[in-house]
C-alpha cells in the first residue's frame, strides 16, 4: 500500500531535522557518564568508591528532569560534584537546543504535509467497502458528497483549497469522509486516495478547471484501467479527448443536461415533474407540471447555456431573440441578435412586449437577477428561466420567483449522483422518453403508482445487487432450486398480502434491462434491481433478502423452523411449521 512510502518520507524528515540535536545529546550524555564513572568518589572504609555506568546514567537522567533525588548511591566527592556542575549546565543548553529543533520540526511545512498525507492514506486504507474519489469540493462536490453519504456510500475528497478541506472536516456526515489538500492531478495524491484499491469504484473530476479535470481523468485511467471516470466538462475539445480514454467514462456537461431537461419539459411536462421529484428538487411535486408557453423567447447571454437553449427552442419551432455583449452568432439562424447588455432598451428592441419567455443565462448572478427584474417590469406575464452560478446566492434567487432555476453545479452533482447510485435509471428514462405510442400514458401511470406508494414522503432511489455478499438469503434459496419472484421480495414482512412502499423501475439480468418488471419476474444471481421507495421500505427489503426465515414466509406463507428442536421436529414428522395459508 502507498502508505509505506509516506511513512518513509515522514521518518526521513524527522531524522534529517533531528540528526544533529540527537547526536549532540548522545555525545554530551556519553561524555558526562564516562566522566562520572572514571572520576574517583569519596573514600569509604578505606576504599575509594566509583559510580557504576548504571548509577551515572541514572544520575544524569533524573537531573535532566530537574527532579533532584540527591547524590546516590553515596555522597559525591568534590571532583565528582565539579564534573556534575559542568555536565548539568551543558546538558541544559543541549536540551534547549533539542527542544527548539523539535518545535521547528513541527512548524516545518513539508513535515506537516507529509504527516497529513500519511494520515490521509491510512484513513483511506481502513475503508473496507466501495468508495469514490471526489476531486474538487466546491458547490458541486459538496452536494455530491452529501448525496453519497446519505445513500450510505463512502467518499474520499481531494481539493487544492485548505479552507474547503477544513470545511469538510466540520460537516456532520454519517460516515467519515477523508479529505486531503492537494493537487488531484498529481499521481502520488491519487494513489494516496486509493485509486489503485480494489474498493475504488470511480474517480469524479469536478474541479473548476477543464484542463485539470482532463489531467485527473487521464492519470486515473493510467493508474487503474478498470476504475470508472466521471468528469465535468463544458468544452467540446476536452469532451472529445476524454471520450478516447477507454473504459467506463461519463462526461457530464451541465448545459447539455439542462437542454435535455428543457426539451423534455416542452414535450412532456409530466416527465419533467417526475425527474425533478426523483432528484429531490425543492418544492417539486408529482401534481404540478411546468409548461413552457409557446411563442417568442428572449435569450440574455449567448454562452454555452444560451447556445444549448437556443438549439432546443429552435428545434421545437420557437422563435428566439438573443442579447449578448459579444458577437457570438454562428451559422444557426437567429432573426434578432443584439450586441449589448440586457437593459430595458435592448429588451424592448428584442420584442419583450410580445415575448412569452425569457432566459437569463449569463455567468454573473447579479446580471441575471437584474435582467429578470427589468424584464418583469416590462412584461409581467413572462415565463422566466434563470441561471444561478453560485450556491451562496440561493436566497436571492428563491425570492426572484423564477419558473425555472438552472444551477450548473447542482445539475452536475445530481447527474453524477444518479449515475453512481442508480446507473439503471438512464434505461428507465430512455424508455419513458422513447417516441412510441402510449408512452405518455405510461408516464402518467408511473406517476399515479408513485403517488399511491410513496405519497408525500421523500423518494429514494435504491439499487439492489443480488449477490452472495448482499443478498445471501435470495442466493441460498436459488441454490436450493427454489424460485424467488420479484413479488416475493417486495411484499411487506409484516403482512405478505401487502406491498412495501416502493416501485420497481428496472431489473437488469444477463445484460438485458426489464423496464417496469412484473411481480412474477424470476430473480437470478447477479441481477440488479432499481426501485424508488422510502427509507423504511429500503430497510425492510434489505432485511428480507438477507433473512432466510423472512424470505421463506413471504414466498410460501409458512414459517421456517429456526431452532434446533423445531428443525428436528419438522424433519422427524415431515412438517415444516404452522402455515397460515398458501401464497
Residue 578: predicted pLDDT: 39
Q: What pLDDT score was predicted for residue 3?
A: 53
Cis amide leading into 422 (omega within 30): no
CATH value at residue 56: 1.10.287
- Distance between CA atoms of residues 520 and 526, nearest Å: 18
pLDDT tens-digit profile, the chain (583 residues) = 555 555 566 677 777 778 888 888 899 989 999 998 999 988 888 889 899 999 999 888 888 777 767 788 888 888 988 998 898 889 888 888 888 888 887 777 777 788 888 889 899 999 988 999 999 998 899 989 998 988 888 999 999 998 999 888 888 888 889 999 999 989 989 999 999 999 999 999 999 888 888 899 999 999 999 999 999 887 766 667 777 777 788 888 889 888 888 888 888 888 888 888 888 777 778 877 788 888 899 999 998 899 999 999 988 888 899 999 887 665 466 778 898 888 899 999 999 999 999 999 998 999 999 999 999 999 988 999 999 988 888 889 888 888 888 988 888 898 899 889 899 999 999 898 887 888 888 998 999 999 999 988 888 899 999 999 899 999 999 998 999 999 999 999 988 899 999 999 999 998 899 999 999 999 999 999 999 999 899 999 999 999 988 998 898 887 776 655 555 555 555 544 434 334 3
242 and 206 part of one domain: yes
Same domain, 502 and 566: yes
Does residue 158 sit within a domain? Answer: yes
Grid coordinates representing 264? 423534455
Residues 291 and 409 in one domain: yes
Domain boundary at 109, 140, 155, which?
109
Residue 473 lies in a domain: yes
**Residue 553 in contact with residue 560, Cβ under 8 Å?**
yes
Are residue 148 and residue 217 in the same domain, yes or no?
Answer: yes
Q: End of a domain among 109, 136, 161?
A: 109
Report yes or no on 120 lying in a domain: no
- Pair (244, 165) in one structural domain: yes
> The CATH number of the domain where 245 resides is what?
3.40.50.720
Residues 6+ apart with CB under 8 A from 574: none
- What's the domain range around 501? 436-573
Question: Could you tell me the CATH number of the domain that includes residue 491?
Answer: 3.30.70.1450
Q: How many domains does the chain have?
A: 4
Same domain membership, residue 440 and residue 531: yes
Instruction: For residue 579, tell me if it sits in a domain.
Output: no
Give every CB contact of residue 299 below 8 A, 6+ residues apart in sequence: 306, 309, 310, 320, 321, 322, 323, 359, 361
User: What's this model's pTM, rounded to 2 decimal places?
Assistant: 0.78
Both 271 and 349 in one domain: the answer is: yes
Cα dihedral 174, 179, 184, 188 in deg (nearest 10): -120
Does 119 reside within a domain?
no
Q: In this structure, are 265 and 388 located in the same domain?
A: yes
Alpha-carbon distance of 358 to 299, in angstroms, equals 6
Verify that 562 and 492 share a domain, yes or no.
Answer: yes
Mark whether 259 and 382 lie in a shared domain.
yes
Largest Cα span, the chain: 122
- Inside any domain, residue 300: yes
- Same domain, yes or no: 246 and 311: no
Does residue 431 lie within any of the structural domains? no
- Domain assignment present for residue 118? The answer is no
How many Cα atoms sit within 13 Å of 106 on the Cβ side?
5
E runs forming strands in 273-389: 297-300, 320-324, 336-339, 357-360, 383-387
Say if residue 406 is in the same domain as residue 452: no
Q: Please tell me the predicted confidence (pLDDT) of residue 239.
A: 67
Convert 181-247 into a string of H (helix), E (strand) and C (coil). Answer: ECCCCCHHHHHHCCCCCCCEEEEEECCCCHHHHHHHHHHHHHHCCCCEEEEECCCHHHHHHHCCCCC
Amino acid at each position: 500500500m502507498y502508505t509505506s512510502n509516506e511513512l518513509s518520507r515522514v521518518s526521513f524528515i524527522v531524522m534529517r531535522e533531528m540528526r544533529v540535536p540527537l547526536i549532540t545529546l548522545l555525545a554530551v550524555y556519553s561524555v558526562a557518564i564516562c566522566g562520572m564513572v572514571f572520576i574517583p568518589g569519596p573514600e569509604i572504609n578505606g576504599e575509594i568508591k566509583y559510580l557504576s555506568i548504571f548509577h551515572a546514567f541514572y544520575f544524569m537522567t533524573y537531573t535532566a528532569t530537574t527532579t533532584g533525588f540527591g547524590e546516590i548511591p553515596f555522597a559525591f566527592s568534590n571532583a565528582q560534584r565539579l564534573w556534575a556542575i559542568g555536565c548539568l549546565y551543558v546538558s541544559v543548553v543541549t536540551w534547549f537546543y533539542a527542544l527548539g529543533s523539535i518545535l521547528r520540526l513541527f512548524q516545518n511545512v513539508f513535515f506537516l504535509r507529509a504527516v497529513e498525507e500519511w494520515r490521509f492514506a491510512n484513513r483511506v486504507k481502513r475503508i473496507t467497502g466501495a468508495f469514490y474519489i471526489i476531486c474538487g469540493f466546491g458547490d458541486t462536490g459538496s452536494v455530491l458528497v452529501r448525496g453519497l453519504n446519505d445513500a450510505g456510500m463512502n467518499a474520499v475528497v481531494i481539493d487544492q483549497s485548505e479552507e474547503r478541506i477544513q470545511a469538510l472536516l466540520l460537516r456532520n456526515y454519517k460516515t467519515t469522509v477523508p479529505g486531503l489538500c492537494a493537487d488531484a492531478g498529481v499521481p502520488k495524491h491519487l494513489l494516496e486516495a486509493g485509486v489503485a484499491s480494489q474498493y475504488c469504484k470511480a474517480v469524479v473530476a469536478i474541479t473548476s478547471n477543464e484542463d485539470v479535470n482532463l489531467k485527473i481523468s487521464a492519470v486515473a485511467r493510467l493508474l487503474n484501467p478498470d476504475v470508472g471516470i466521471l468528469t465535468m466538462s463544458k468544452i467540446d475539445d476536452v469532451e472529445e479527448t476524454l471520450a478516447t480514454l477507454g473504459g467506463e467514462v461519463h462526461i457530464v456537461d451541465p448545459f447539455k443536461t439542462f437542454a435535455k431537461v428543457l426539451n423534455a419539459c416542452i414535450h412532456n411536462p409530466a416527465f419533467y415533474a417526475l425527474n425533478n421529484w426523483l432528484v429531490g428538487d425543492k418544492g417539486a411535486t408529482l401534481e404540478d407540471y411546468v409548461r413552457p408557453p409557446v411563442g417568442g423567447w428572449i435569450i440574455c447571454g449567448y454562452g454555452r447555456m444560451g447556445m444549448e437553449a437556443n438549439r432546443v427552442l429552435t428545434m421545437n419551432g420557437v422563435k428566439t431573440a438573443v442579447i449578448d455583449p459579444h458577437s457570438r452568432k454562428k451559422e444557426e439562424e437567429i432573426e434578432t441578435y443584439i450586441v449589448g447588455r440586457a437593459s430595458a432598451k435592448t429588451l424592448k428592441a428584442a420584442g419583450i412586449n410580445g415575448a412569452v419567455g425569457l432566459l437569463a443565462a449569463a455567468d454573473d448572478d447579479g446580471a441575471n437577477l437584474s435582467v429578470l427584474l427589468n424584464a418583469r417590469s416590462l412584461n409581467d406575464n413572462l415565463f422566466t428561466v434563470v441561471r444561478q452560478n453560485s450556491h451562496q446566492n440561493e436566497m436571492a434567487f428563491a425570492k426572484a420567483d423564477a419558473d425555472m432555476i438552472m444551477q450548473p453545479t447542482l445539475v452536475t452533482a445530481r447527474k453524477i449522483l444518479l449515475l453512481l447510485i442508480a446507473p439503471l435509471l438512464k434505461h428507465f428514462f430512455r424508455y419513458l422518453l422513447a417516441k412510441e405510442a402510449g408512452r405518455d400514458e405510461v408516464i402518467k401511470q408511473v406517476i399515479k403508482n408513485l403517488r399511491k406508494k410513496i405519497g408525500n414522503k421523500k423518494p429514494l432511489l435504491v439499487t439492489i445487487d443480488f449477490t452472495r455478499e448482499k443478498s445471501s438469503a435470495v442466493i441460498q434459496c436459488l441454490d436450493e432450486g427454489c424460485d424467488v419472484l420479484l413479488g416475493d421480495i417486495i411484499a411487506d414482512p409484516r403482512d405478505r398480502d401487502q406491498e412495501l412502499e416502493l416501485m420497481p423501475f428496472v431489473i437488469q439480468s444477463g445484460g438485458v434491462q426489464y423496464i417496469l418488471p412484473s411481480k412474477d419476474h424470476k430473480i437470478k444471481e447477479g441481477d440488479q434491481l432499481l426501485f424508488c421507495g422510502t427509507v423504511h421500505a429500503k430497510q425492510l427489503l434489505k432485511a428480507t433478502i438477507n433473512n432466510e426465515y423472512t424470505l421463506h414466509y413471504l414466498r410460501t406463507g409458512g414459517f421456517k423452523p429456526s431452532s434446533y428442536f423445531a428443525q428436528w421436529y419438522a424433519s422427524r414428522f415431515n412438517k415444516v411449521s404452522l402455515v397460515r395459508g398458501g401464497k
